[in-house]
Structure 1
Amino acid sequence: MNDLMDWFRDNLWAGWGLLAMALAAAELLTLDLTLLMLAAGALTGGVVALVLPGLVWLQITVALITAVATLFLLRPTLLAKVRASKGYRSSLDSIVGSKGRATAMITGHSGEVKVEGQVWEARSFDPTITIEEGEEIEVFSLDGVTLSVYPTNRPLTQ
């Protein structure tokens, strides 16, 4: 165990590399690019460790500066490009077309539904229709955090 610690102390670049790989792998679970930016910081810390192995304070400083810079400068640009790409649908947009159930009476102005296990504010797609509690609904659109819904057991009138 002591030999392993000595080896890592002498080859700190490997520790930085393992950290970068772990963060990059964890990014695959989140897909929000935050962990990837932290992995970039760890990678630059590893490069500094490879070139200047004795300056741990410089390795940490470079890693932190890189991580913060990529988080605030690169990540927003990359997220904007991803969200603007053809065919992108956010998780909120994917709720359109889902079916659910009214958990309170729904009017053209207010109401509440449960869709995919989550409770949402809702209003009737057709303001002249009232949807009773317990009726099945379909989500037509999303306006902020309010769903525009219509009962599935009635023909669409609008």
Structure 2
Amino acid sequence: MESWVVWLAVAALLGIAEIFTLTFALGLLAAAALAAGLAGALGLPFAAQVAVFAIGSVAGLAVVRPIARRHITRPPPLRSGTAALVGREALTLTEVNRRGGRALIGGEEWTARPYDPDVVIPAEAPYELTRGNRQKVEH
């Protein structure tokens, strides 16, 4: 059996293993094995094929994988919905209590309820929207 066929089989096995592990490491090794198989199909000697595999593996794991992991773990660039309101200032238009109320946030009127049902926020009070509570803004 020719060596390039073995490299292609190794690339296929590594690619299948990557699907089950999702580490992105085995996929890069599969790409390096595919490059070594291409080198073998072009007629390069086995030592050159191993060198192509080694260089491709090191380059993939040392350069490509850290960049890919940074992009995967990056938070979404644009917050939307209620998550975009955290940290913004709101002005209550009506009294806000456990039953509800109205607040002006960024020029838009929203329904509002306090996180703590026992809190009553008076009308015309400026508040900063936070994740778990509302804190009065001092001017």
Tell me the TM-score normalized by structure 2: 0.52
Distance in 2 of aligned mates of 1:24 and 1:85: 27
Q: Tell me the percent identity.
A: 30
Equivalences, count: 76
Matching residue of 2:59: 69
Identify the match of residue 3 of structure 2 among 12, 23, 27.
12
Which AA in structure 2 matches 1:25? I
Q: Which has the larger radius of gyration?
A: 2
Distance in 1 of aligned mates of 2:60 and 2:46: 21
Superposed CA RMSD in Å reads 1.2
Q: Provide runs of 4+ in structure 1 moved above 2 Å.
A: none
Cα drift, residue 85 of structure 1: 5.4
Structure 1 gap segments, 5+ residues each:
1-7, 87-158
CA offsets, 1:85-137, max 9 Å, x none? 54xxxxxxxxxxxxxxxxxxxxxxxxxxxxxxxxxxxxxxxxxxxxxxxxxxx
Counting only pairs closer than 5 Å after superposition, residues 79-90 of structure 1 correspond to structure 2 as 79-84=69-74, 86=76
Which AA in structure 2 matches 1:78? A
Tell me the TM-score normalized by structure 1: 0.46
Structure 2 gap segments, 5+ residues each:
77-139
Distance in 2 of aligned mates of 1:58 and 1:12: 12
Normalized per residue, which structure has more strand?
1
